[in-house]
Structure 1
Amino acid sequence: MLDSRSQEDAHRTGSRAIDDLIATVLSNADVQINGRRPWDLQIHHPETLSRIAAQRSLGLGESYMDGWWDCQALDEFIFRILRAGGDDLGKSRWMLALQLLGHTLRNRQSRRRAGQVAEQHYDLGNELFARMLDPTMAYSCGYWKDAETLHQAQEAKLDLICRKLELEPGMTLLDIGCGWGSLLEFAARHYGVRAQGVTVSSEQARFARQRCRDLPVEVLLKDYRAVSGQFDRVVSVGMFEHVGRRNYRTFMETSRRLLKDRGLMLLHTIGNNESSNGHDAWINKYIFPNGELPSIKQIARHAEHRFVVEDLHNFGPDYARTLQAWDANFQAHWSELRDQYDERFYRMWHYYLNLCAGTFRARSTQLWQWVFSKPGYRIHTYHAPR
């Protein structure tokens, strides 16, 4: 057996090897430790690199939350690390930290567990989201094609959805995962529809009901699987990421059941470039419990035989700009929020927004809008607006 001195020497040798490995990966991404550029890491704790190597994504995020390291341009740091992932160094153990990791045997998005993300994330407080988001309270990717401000981008996204759905006055619209009611209000006010929205967040439901109180809009605190009736149009914006691969079939079958024969459905979702059975450990623990990003293959597989794909539109890079705008708002209004949230929450939220912005910049994640119809009922060509 090794004596205590030999064990200490072995530990130091192992730690140096880990630190050297991570330093090499960082160098390959043109990121320096304690460098002078905005995307360089500023290390404050001697065990930072070892913690990241041992705990991967969780260690990277938690060590930032604990103040062990800083980076002026977090999104650029993440972008550079992910962009460098195409070579052998990018396939090292540490590079896997920023990929969707892990496997699960449980249905992490069962009805019983569906409300967990609402309790942990969406019910954090409407004050937080009101200060971070634009006046529409849309918590999904804006459409920046002709927009200069966040508010313009979000209104453009809402209008794009309405035009893709070919909404007309008097139609019925179901919004699965309606959030704070941005699309419900916009579609009812500008397109004259009668709308129903469902959410598992009590805070969102309360807010949405208040904003739509003078419109033909009903907001229900209900899981999408419990909805009944049929609608001219069905839409889901930024909710499919919480459905989970074990429930994709159920989601598609439920949506088909709720959609009238000649109707249209629009699915707006973040997507992964590859089919995955995993999730990011840090995001799962602190931001979106039980979330999973679908691939095109996974969505198409479960839409097959149930829907015709009329259109598929990717504007993923717009999400990086949206997240940066949210982070700018969050930081600008932090003085109004700091009495409700501590410094560790501030670092967690700032890291979350920039981590996601970096993945969209690197094109590791995408933003898709799918338009579906039922087979055999729409015989004319569908022309999707852009």
Structure 2
Amino acid sequence: MSGLHHPDSLPSHQHTGLAGRVHDVLDSADIRINGSRPWDMQIHHPRTLTRIALQRSLGLGESYMDGWWDCDALDELFRRLLRHGANGISQNLLQRGLQWIGQCLFNRQNLHRAKDVALQHYDLDNSLFEAMLDPTMSYSCGYWQQADTLAQAQRNKLDLICRKLELQPGMTLLDIGCGWGGLLEHANRHYGVRGVGITLSKEQAALATQRCAKHDVDIRLQDYRTLQGQFDRVVSVGMFEHVGRRNYSVFMASCAQRLRPKGLMLLHTIGSNVSSHHHDPWIDKYIFPNGELPSCAQISRTAEPWFVAEDLHNFGADYARTLRAWDRNFVSAWPQLSRRYSDRFFRMWRYYLNACAGAFQARDLQLWQWVFSHTGGRQRVYTGAR
């Protein structure tokens, strides 16, 4: 296709109209149309750039899903776009305005809508996630310090969490958004704690119950807002992204009420560099409906009535490596997965994994682990767990 000539493949000095605006963005990021480098876009449809200009992030993702363009190194393409300010123009003024109005009028993560992401994403066939993830079934950032494989990076992450929480035999651990139970299984096996895990995904709950059947772990289909009782430790890994800023204070209050006076809480979450009410339209439509990334300021502001922040650890750069490992596993497993999923799903899933990898490579997204204690609850917290 390198010899293709149409209005979307004009030299930069001839850029005009809607397509020309996209050309200018690509030029600033050193991305060429039908170029020979891995991160260059290979255009197959003459209206690709016009579609992207009109629909921004949604048009970029959907046109890729429809096969209108390809790229050998999607993660690098996104790294370059985000490093050169594309995030600031990923939505037009109408899209941003509608999002702002929606955030003002509706709680997108209320008790009823909170289940949307479970139904659309986490309730996909468990075989998809088993093929993509490591044996612990950890669907969150691995900790790659002193790790060469995805499995080791995820075991490192689980152990890092347990050490930061200062787990001891006989303690009780609440895992909010427990996924497939990997952390609770690890904590029970290696630290002798009794665990309770909650999730809104029926598929996750079924597999987590099966995986933890021989351990002192109770898996429940339950929302964090309906919990009762108290625990020595509270943890939440990769779930806070689904809470939403209108519910941050409720989440922190709920965790404080569930945590015993001298306990510790660890919050592991993807984060944004800036506080915003915006969300990516493509991710919201196809991957994580009603999701919203917090900023440091939003987390600290909503935690401060309840907690002391004992430690904050950022290892977001490790997420790019984790996502690339998931992408390799997904591609390797596709001959088997293709019996259940379409080619369009294949393109959607790879776009998701690589777009996120590029965002972490660009440092547009972060990965934080916060350790909290009750105000005045503890004299000392061990912070040398890394």
> Into which bin does the TM-score normalised by the smaller protein fall?
over 0.9
* 1:9 aligned partner: none
The TM-score normalised by the length of structure 1 is 0.93
Cα drift, residue 107 of structure 1: 0.4
8 Å CA contact 1:265, 1:373 repeated in 2: yes
Q: Distance in 2 between matches of 1:83 and 1:17?
A: 24
User: 2:314 matched to 1:321?
Assistant: no
Residues 168 and 191 of structure 2 are in contact (CA less than 8 Å); yes or no, is this contact kept in structure 1?
A: yes
CA–CA distance in structure 2, aligned partners of residues 302 and 76 of structure 1: 35
CA distance in structure 2 between the partners assigned to 1:306 and 1:346 by the alignment: 44
Identity, % of aligned positions: 64
Residue 311 of structure 1 contacts residue 384 of structure 1 at CA under 8 Å; is this kept in 2? Answer: no
Contact 2:178-2:237 within 8 A present in 1 as well? yes
Paired residue type of 2:157: K
| Structure 1 spans left out of the alignment, 5+ residues | 1-13
Give the total of aligned pairs: 366
1:233–1:265 Cα contact (<8 Å) kept: yes
Counterpart in the other structure of 2:297: 297
The answer as to whether partners of 2:195 and 2:216 remain within 8 angstroms in 1 is yes
Offset at residue 382 of structure 1 (A) = 3.4
Structure 1 residues 1-386: aligned runs within 5 Å:
16-85=16-85, 93=89, 95-96=90-91, 102-103=99-100, 104=102, 105=104, 106-386=106-386
State the shift of 1:91 in Å.
Answer: 7.9
* Cα distance in 2, alignment partners of residues 362 and 15 from structure 1: 27
Query: Which digits, 9 at most, give the CA deviation of each residue in 1:328-385, with x for residues without a partner?
Result: 0000000010010000000000000000000000000000000000011101253241
Instruction: Give the conservation status (yes or no) of the 8 Å contact 2:21–2:53.
Output: no
Supply the AA of the counterpart residue of 1:347. Answer: R
Kindly state the Cα deviation for residue 15 of structure 1 after the two structures are TM-superposed: 9.2
Q: CA–CA distance in 1 between the matches of 2:367 and 2:111?
A: 26
CA distance in 2, matches of 1:279, 1:306: 27
Q: Identify if the C-alpha distance between structure 1 residues 125 and 35 changes in structure 2 by more than 3 Å, giving closer, same or farther.
A: same
What residue identity is the alignment partner of 1:162? C
Distance in 1, Cα, partners of 2:87 & 2:181: 42
1:180-215 CA distance string (max 9 Å, x none): 001010000110000000000000000000001011
**1:34–1:191 CA distance, 2 compared to 1 (3 A):** same
Q: Structure 1 residues 134, 144: closer, same or farther in 2, change over 3 A?
A: same
Structure-2 separation of matches of 1:217 and 1:373 = 24
**Change beyond 3 A, Cα 1:45–1:247:** same
Return the offset for 1:17: 1.7
Residue 113 of structure 2 aligns to a residue whose secondary structure is: coil
- Point out where structure 2 has 5 or more consecutive residues left out of the alignment: 1-13
SS at structure 2 position matched to 1:175: strand
Q: Distance in 1 between matches of 2:134 and 2:336?
A: 16
The change in CA–CA distance for 1:379 and 1:134 in structure 2 (over 3 A counts) is same
Paired with 2:245 and 2:118, the residues of 1 have a C-alpha distance of: 19
CA offsets 1:277-315 (integer angstroms, 9 cap, x no match): 011000000000000000000000001121000000000
Residues 169, 286 of structure 1: CA spacing in aligned structure 2 closer, same or farther, 3 A cutoff? same
Q: CA RMSD in A?
A: 1.5
Amino acid corresponding to residue 228 of structure 2 in structure 1: S
Q: 1:22 deviation in Å? A: 1.3
For residues 141 and 384 of structure 1, what CA distance do their matches in structure 2 show?
Answer: 20
SS in 1 for 2:301: helix
TM-score of the superposed pair, with normalisation by structure 2 = 0.93
Task: Give the drift of 1:130.
Answer: 0.3
Distance 2:357 2:148 in 1: 18
Query: Deviation at 1:96?
Result: 4.8
CA deviation vs aligned residue, 1:129-186 (integer Å, no higher than 9, x gap) = 0000011100000000110000000000000000000000000000000000010100
